[in-house]
Amino acid sequence: MTYEFYSYFILQVTTLVNTSNKGPSSKKKGRSKKAHVLAASVEQATQNFLEKGQQIAKESQDLKEELINAVEDVRKQGESMQVASSEFADDPCSSVKRGTMVRTARALLSAVTRLLILADMADVMRLLSHLKIVSAFLLLF
């Protein structure tokens, strides 16, 4: 997984969380079109992230179970985020809904971070395995 993708994901979630700092728009009272667009963007980013995570879990031999659990946690938190952000977008004046969305966003980012750490660990383990093979090969000469 690339950190560029993770940075984009964080940007989308952060933008959604901070969308009502200026208050609701004067065009439609109590409803934020921008928040709905951002919620859809976060949902798509989460879906892309899940696909990458599943691919890494399939390819991993050492941390397969941990990666599968982490992907499932991201899926669960992503679904919660989808509900919370949609409810917030429908009523951006509600501090309770905003607070719920912020807590849900933090949980989603935590789950994504855990998946990234596990994916990095799997990469390091794979590289170390290849290094041992190359070292053993070089010792023959």
Q: How far is CA 59 from CA 8, 52, 79, 112, 122, in A?
A: 24, 11, 25, 18, 9
pTM over 0.85: no
> In a 3-state reduction of DSSP, which class is residue 119?
helix
Does residue 39 surpass a pLDDT of 90?
Answer: no
Task: Render pLDDT for 53-87 as a digit per residue (tens, 0 to 9).
Answer: 999 999 888 899 999 999 999 999 999 999 999 99
Q: What is the pLDDT of residue 49?
A: 87
